[in-house]
Amino acid sequence: MLCITPELLVEARAKALAKRTNSKEKTRLKKIGTSHHDLVLAAIHRLTGDDYRAEAGATESAVVVSAWKTDPNIFGLVGFAQQYPDNRRVYITYCGSKGLIHLGLVERIRGRRVRLTAAGMKRAQEIVGSMKRSS
């Protein structure tokens, strides 16, 4: 039986933080011109398609999983990045004071659903295009 001690948690968090701030990861993100915001925009775009006026939008849970699948090292749970998404990281990216909703790129619709605005759709299409060219 595995006993999780506070020391193990601190060590796991330190390793996860080191991975997140890894210079190779930063270089990769800069190379394709993406940030946390861009990755979440691309995740929402993947879920909703090209029609930004779609009434259905995407559930917040689906956005979390989609963003995590895009980059588990950024949106993964500390210490378990490859196994589980961290919903708080994704929520902060679009709900925070500097988030996508505040920037006017994403809007909330009907409770816990979100969709891209016209400006968000334009940016998401640019991001998806640059990601396809770089891979």
pLDDT (0 to 100) of residue 94: 86
Summarize pLDDT for 85-114 with one digit per residue, the tens.
999 999 998 888 888 999 999 999 888 899
Q: What is the mean pLDDT for each group of 10 consecutive residues in the chain (135 residues)?
A: 56 60 46 71 88 76 93 91 92 88 90 89 86 67
pLDDT value of position 33: 45
User: How far is Cα 131 from Cα 115, in angstroms, rounded to an integer?
Assistant: 21
